Structure 1
Amino acid sequence: MLTEVNENLVEFGLGGLCNLCLDKTNKSHILDSGGLKLVINCLSSRREETVLSALTTLMFLCTAASRTEVTAPAVVECMVRFSLSTNRRISNLATIFLQDYCSDKQVQEAKELSQHSALGIPLPESTQHPI
């Protein structure tokens, strides 16, 4: 479902995958079948819920074997940009990702690659309504 054109299918498919990947058997299957790359691709979705599920799924799929791919320079740079987002949900999750899954060196290198702005990456549309 992660490669579908229909954004609803991607959003709900990734949400289901996020719920399933904490099980060791499911996690192994997802990692062994190339699912990590598909999840990483979902970080560029314009939908807030899809991005949030992608962020969470990446954290859940991080193992000793997958850590290099989960914390690839492009992913870490994306997380640095997301951590500066005005969307608090995305910003908070990206900050947790950077703190818990990346080394200080990785974060510093990613910061040097970018201008510390969200320009150049699509930001998801917020589904939150002002109070």
Structure 2
Amino acid sequence: MFSSHASLKRRTGGNGTDRFQFIQSLVSEFQDTSSKACREQIVANLANFAYDPINYEHLRRLNVLDLFLDMLSEDNETLVEFAIGGICNLCLDPLNRHHVVSNSGIPLIVQCLASSNEETVLSAMLTMKYLETSETRQQIRSDPVVECMTKYSSSSNARLRNLATVFLQDGPPTVQ
């Protein structure tokens, strides 16, 4: 059995890479570039970093959640897809969940339910589940959202149908 230190070292790598500085360089590059393809790749990379809880503090310090929230209003569907994926990954953490809710993230996420991009819709649905608490339930379970989920629960797309059905059947999760 590995010690927690050994497990952490294995997950962070032994090559001396400083995660904070690497993520910071991605954020700086995102801010400095006007290349559509480059911006998409950077947001995809940041969303991938959001998969690992070891990066949560770095992503918070660098305001990546705000960057993701800002991207939800973009016309570029690829940026929206990667941003909502990053938010979905980060919302398992209570501090990140609170940040999204307190920074008007729910209406932006609700907008993603109308996307023509299946991955965007699926990430939005799952993010809504992660954000649902007794405090957010009224906003998450608003009539327009329930109507949208009801529509998706009849979809021929099994992924959309199944996630919408779970959303409609379940109450709020027990995480706080």
Which TM-score band (shorter chain)? 0.7 to 0.9
Picking from 72, 76, 87, the partner of 2:157 is 87
TM-superposed CA distance for 1:101, in Å, is 3.0
The residue aligned with 1:35 is 105
Does residue 50 in structure 1 map to residue 133 in structure 2?
Answer: no
Structure 2: 5+ residue runs without aligned partners?
1-70
Once superposed, which parts of structure 1, at least 4 consecutive aligned residues long, lie more than 3 Å away? none
Alignment of 1:1-131 (within 5 A): 1-101=71-171
Please, what TM-score do these two structures have when normalized by structure 2? 0.57
Size of the aligned set, in residue pairs, is: 102
Q: Distance in 2 between matches of 1:95 and 1:64?
A: 20
Indicate the SS of the match to 2:170.
Answer: helix
Q: Which has the higher contact order (CA 8 A, sep 6+)?
A: 1
Residue deviations 1:57-101 (CA, integer Å, cap 9, x gap)? 000000111000000011001111100000000000000000003
Name the larger-Rg structure.
2
Contact residue 82 and residue 94 of structure 1 kept, 8 A? yes
- Greater helix proportion: 2
Q: Distance in 1 between matches of 2:83 and 2:155?
A: 25
Contact residue 20 and residue 26 of structure 1 kept, 8 A? yes
Residue deviations 1:6-49 (CA, integer Å, cap 9, x gap)? 10000000000000011000000000000001000100000000
Contact residue 45 and residue 51 of structure 1 kept, 8 A? yes
Please, what TM-score do these two structures have when normalized by structure 1? 0.76
Aligned identity (percent) is 51
The residue type equivalent to 1:63 in the other structure is T
Contact residue 43 and residue 51 of structure 1 kept, 8 A? yes
Indicate the SS of the match to 1:44.
Answer: coil
Structure 1: 5+ residue runs without aligned partners?
103-131
The residue type equivalent to 1:10 in the other structure is V
